[in-house]
Chains A and B, each alone.
Chain A
């Protein structure tokens, strides 16, 4: 790979404009096809039987009655998904989560599945499956699960990362630690120390489209999977491995995706659909109900976090420490680890220490949710930072500016930062008119900062030039929020043609090389790099064809503004050849013209955001309304600014929901009480104000345009920004998210009673 990813500070003609997205008309006319919008001939309906118990041994499953029901074509249990994971513990967990093998580990865990000629028959068949359970004690609370007397979820788990291997198994799977300096020394130097404990409840990504797929397995081992996913190549690898298929014979097509936010980075029902199809010998469509999405996909962690920060009188933080306990569901994960890495990433700290504990609970397997693990850590840290500023008598923004990380600062998770945007976002907030707007009674203003790493990863694109000079761009990252528009802009920019001449599509797994999951805000960052590279390769061919046409050396041909130009006075009479001209002649100059690229897009730029939020609290009911909201975030470079704004606004809205009302509520029986949009309360249109955005562009040195990711950071500050605003409005420090009306009213009453 000869691709040079370094930032070049060039001027743009297409990048930075705001054209209409290429998939737009299909989406406003109802023609776009999502996971559940696809059908195959002879297709059956798949349905999954789920455990009603939070923790139970599966003693036996009798499927004979279901199999005899007219119209039932296949019934499967874990026996039909034999363990082919060959010691790969992470894959085994995925297998066990797809279909429980020995124990049901949470309310909603799949235990059997059927494929039948219609939904009614499939539903009836589920009722005929007899499962004998031995119900075990369960634990759903992260703090309770970490106690040594808690019911054990997996007796083979011994806490990793301790100095000595523990003698007894535990629900705590791993301890991780980050930091530098000496916090004891730092706290000793502090004039003020604030220490507090926080809890956040489990939330769900809440994408409006339930998981859906159509699976078709043929007797010769070839198979097709149509599915809504954030990573069809990863789904192919996982499904092929779990089903014993050859990866190249399993073609996975990514449908339009109706939201993911990290929740569609993981296979759930897809291996089940394939197993059903294999057994039935017919295609199977499997669509989760909303109830199943909540009970049995991958929500985020519930957490319990202790934070201690000390500062001296001049406002310099002398030490910062946090202990973070994150729930993982019933399988090991690394969620507290990410929380421990991100917690203090915004600050320049001499002495910092974070410790994370991963905790197993009888809840669904935790999956990524937009900057996973960072919002909870930021909530705890930014609440204490605000409180410390008050204690010091300093303005909350000034205090943060004084302690903000900058280029050359050693980050709290280890490496030294390059050019970063935390300082600029704080300066922008400081001078933002929102900070000076008047407030009324019971209203309060809060602000908070957030950090996310952003990722790159393996990426492959194909750029094909048609004979008419139009360009099709096939990418392998999934378009979750307008990336086909931004990548078309990149192709147009590189080739020097108009945006309207490019059409980007998401290619299936048989049409393009491997691409990593579209996660970590990597879609536009990675695929733009690959597109720039592919366009470069196509331009090389275009130049060769022009040279051939002119019969001159290719070294004398340059590519400028969509044209091949013969460079040098001796070629004065050669009129430039447009891309269209060269494409039209391509049949006689060597055939089709294309540019391919495969690369690892590494070097993603970290990103920071600072949010401002005004709330109004009804002191008689504890009801909180967000009345004004502003997002300031570093994009590196906004390729399509409108969709960048959209990411900022969407992340903020999800954070607002998380802060105020969203939570998984489990009963004493370990069953989820609110698996629906009625009682899992995501914000509705009338709950929110307009969400103002300000895009900063501090170039990432490792991307030709300076692009950083933009998708995730915006969900990190809202929890803390709202908690700080509530505190400023009514004088209570909320330490439990969500800050639902009963919690706020109870806190206000406690305050009033003194």
Chain B
């Protein structure tokens, strides 16, 4: 079980709640379970969500494991110059 924090706008489509406890071993499973629970999140995942694990931002490594006790924070996937 990991505790996941959603950024402001995303929590609006996840029952208005910023913090969620989810049983997930990696980013892929986290996204799947979030989408099962809150179908409104799916288009956001398609557009891109980055996952910060203990402060390090992962944008594409969906196989990245979520260590127990780690701080998991979801962020928009951004564009750069």
A600 contacts B81, C-beta separation under 8 Å: no
A413 contacts B7, C-beta separation under 8 Å: yes
A522 contacts B76, C-beta separation under 8 Å: no
| Cα of A179 to Cα of B75 in the assembled complex, Å | 12
Say whether A657 faces chain B, with CB atoms less than 8 Å apart.
no
Which residues of A are found within 8 Å of B14, using beta-carbon distances?
Answer: none
Say whether A181 faces chain B, with CB atoms less than 8 Å apart.
no
* Chain B, residue nearest A366 (CB): B79
B8 contacts A455, C-beta separation under 8 Å: no
What mask results when residues 40 to 81 of chain B are scored 1 for a CB within 8 Å of chain A, else 0?
000000010000101111111100100000010111101111
| Cα of A458 to Cα of B5 in the assembled complex, Å | 25
Which residues of B are found within 8 Å of A261, using beta-carbon distances?
Answer: 81
Which residues of B are found within 8 Å of A179, using beta-carbon distances?
Answer: 8
Say whether B9 faces chain A, with CB atoms less than 8 Å apart.
yes
* Chain B, residue nearest A418 (CB): B55
B54 contacts A519, C-beta separation under 8 Å: no
Within 8 A of B (CB), among A433-476: 453-458
The minimal Cβ–Cβ distance linking B9 to chain A, given in whole angstroms, is 4
Say whether B22 faces chain A, with CB atoms less than 8 Å apart.
no
Say whether A672 faces chain B, with CB atoms less than 8 Å apart.
no
| Cα of A260 to Cα of B80 in the assembled complex, Å | 12
B60 contacts A370, C-beta separation under 8 Å: no
* Chain A, residue nearest B80 (CB): A520
A519 contacts B81, C-beta separation under 8 Å: yes
The minimal Cβ–Cβ distance linking B46 to chain A, given in whole angstroms, is 9
A176 contacts B80, C-beta separation under 8 Å: no
Q: Which of B8, B56, B61, B76 counts the most chain A CB atoms within 10 A?
A: B8
B61 contacts A161, C-beta separation under 8 Å: no
Say whether B1 faces chain A, with CB atoms less than 8 Å apart.
no
| Cα of A267 to Cα of B54 in the assembled complex, Å | 35
The minimal Cβ–Cβ distance linking B4 to chain A, given in whole angstroms, is 11
Contacts known (A178-B8, A414-B7); A457 close to B56, Cβ less than 8 A: no
A456 contacts B73, C-beta separation under 8 Å: no
Contact of B56 among A414, A519, A702 (CB under 8 A): A702
Which residues of A are found within 8 Å of B56, using beta-carbon distances?
Answer: 418, 602-603, 701-702
Which residues of B are found within 8 Å of A90, using beta-carbon distances?
Answer: 47
Contact of A520 among B54, B60, B78 (CB under 8 A): B78
| Cα of A337 to Cα of B74 in the assembled complex, Å | 14
A418 contacts B78, C-beta separation under 8 Å: no
Which residues of B are found within 8 Å of A369, using beta-carbon distances?
Answer: 81
The minimal Cβ–Cβ distance linking A337 to chain B, given in whole angstroms, is 6
A416 contacts B55, C-beta separation under 8 Å: yes
Say whether A141 faces chain B, with CB atoms less than 8 Å apart.
no
Say whether A277 faces chain B, with CB atoms less than 8 Å apart.
no
| Cα of A334 to Cα of B64 in the assembled complex, Å | 26
Which residues of B are found within 8 Å of A415, using beta-carbon distances?
Answer: 52, 54-55, 57, 71, 73, 75
A414 contacts B52, C-beta separation under 8 Å: yes
| Cα of A738 to Cα of B18 in the assembled complex, Å | 38
A334 contacts B78, C-beta separation under 8 Å: yes
Contacts known (A417-B55, A457-B60, A600-B61); A265 close to B7, Cβ less than 8 A: no
Contact of A604 among B57, B71, B75 (CB under 8 A): B57
The minimal Cβ–Cβ distance linking A711 to chain B, given in whole angstroms, is 8
| Cα of A702 to Cα of B52 in the assembled complex, Å | 13
B81 contacts A453, C-beta separation under 8 Å: no
Say whether A237 faces chain B, with CB atoms less than 8 Å apart.
no
B55 contacts A600, C-beta separation under 8 Å: no
A372 contacts B12, C-beta separation under 8 Å: no
B57 contacts A176, C-beta separation under 8 Å: no
| Cα of A336 to Cα of B66 in the assembled complex, Å | 30
The minimal Cβ–Cβ distance linking B54 to chain A, given in whole angstroms, is 7
Which residues of A are found within 8 Å of B55, using beta-carbon distances?
Answer: 411, 415-418
How many chain A residues touch B (CB < 8 A): the figure is 51
| Cα of A176 to Cα of B7 in the assembled complex, Å | 9
Contact of A161 among B9, B60, B64, B74 (CB under 8 A): B9
What mask results when residues 109 to 139 of chain A are scored 1 for a CB within 8 Å of chain B, else 0?
0000000000000000000000000000000
Say whether A597 faces chain B, with CB atoms less than 8 Å apart.
no
What mask results when residues 176 to 216 of chain A are scored 1 for a CB within 8 Å of chain B, else 0?
11110000000000000000000000000100000000000
| Cα of A51 to Cα of B71 in the assembled complex, Å | 50
Which residues of B are found within 8 Å of A334, using beta-carbon distances?
Answer: 76, 78-79
B78 contacts A455, C-beta separation under 8 Å: yes
A265 contacts B79, C-beta separation under 8 Å: yes
| Cα of A205 to Cα of B81 in the assembled complex, Å | 9
Say whether A86 faces chain B, with CB atoms less than 8 Å apart.
no
Contact of B78 among A174, A263, A416, A453 (CB under 8 A): A453
B59 contacts A457, C-beta separation under 8 Å: yes
Which residues of A are found within 8 Å of B52, using beta-carbon distances?
Answer: 414-415
Contact of A372 among B7, B47, B79 (CB under 8 A): B79
Which residues of B are found within 8 Å of A176, using beta-carbon distances?
Answer: 7-9, 76
Contacts known (A372-B79, A458-B60); A177 close to B54, Cβ less than 8 A: no
| Cα of A457 to Cα of B48 in the assembled complex, Å | 13
Say whether A610 faces chain B, with CB atoms less than 8 Å apart.
no
Say whether A384 faces chain B, with CB atoms less than 8 Å apart.
no
B54 contacts A418, C-beta separation under 8 Å: yes
| Cα of A696 to Cα of B64 in the assembled complex, Å | 30
Contacts known (A176-B8, A371-B81, A519-B81); A453 close to B76, Cβ less than 8 A: no
The minimal Cβ–Cβ distance linking B50 to chain A, given in whole angstroms, is 9
Which residues of A are found within 8 Å of B59, using beta-carbon distances?
Answer: 455-457, 600, 602
A414 contacts B81, C-beta separation under 8 Å: no
A368 contacts B9, C-beta separation under 8 Å: no
Contacts known (A161-B9, A415-B52, A416-B71); A602 close to B60, Cβ less than 8 A: yes
A368 contacts B8, C-beta separation under 8 Å: no
Which residues of B are found within 8 Å of A456, using beta-carbon distances?
Answer: 59-60
B57 contacts A603, C-beta separation under 8 Å: yes
* Chain B, residue nearest A420 (CB): B55
* Chain A, residue nearest B56 (CB): A603
What mask results when residues 412 to 428 of chain A are scored 1 for a CB within 8 Å of chain B, else 0?
01111110000000000
| Cα of A413 to Cα of B52 in the assembled complex, Å | 11
A262 contacts B76, C-beta separation under 8 Å: no
B81 contacts A262, C-beta separation under 8 Å: yes
The minimal Cβ–Cβ distance linking B53 to chain A, given in whole angstroms, is 8
| Cα of A27 to Cα of B7 in the assembled complex, Å | 46
Say whether A78 faces chain B, with CB atoms less than 8 Å apart.
no
| Cα of A261 to Cα of B79 in the assembled complex, Å | 12
* Chain A, residue nearest B76 (CB): A337
| Cα of A262 to Cα of B81 in the assembled complex, Å | 4
User: 6 tightest A-B contacts by CB?
Assistant: A520-B80, A262-B81, A177-B8, A415-B52, A519-B80, A370-B81
Given A177-B8, A411-B55, A712-B80, output 17 extra A-B contacts at Cβ < 8 Å.
Answer: A90-B47, A163-B12, A176-B8, A260-B81, A262-B80, A334-B78, A341-B76, A341-B78, A413-B75, A414-B5, A414-B74, A416-B54, A455-B80, A517-B80, A522-B80, A600-B61, A602-B59
> Can you list 12 A-B contacts with CB-CB less than 8 angstroms, sorted by A residue number?
A90-B47, A177-B7, A178-B7, A260-B81, A368-B79, A411-B55, A415-B54, A415-B55, A415-B57, A418-B56, A453-B57, A701-B56
Residues on A lying within 8 angstroms of B by beta carbon are 90, 160-161, 163, 174-179, 205, 260-263, 265, 334, 337-338, 341, 368-372, 411, 413-418, 453-458, 517, 519-522, 600, 602-604, 701-702, 711-712
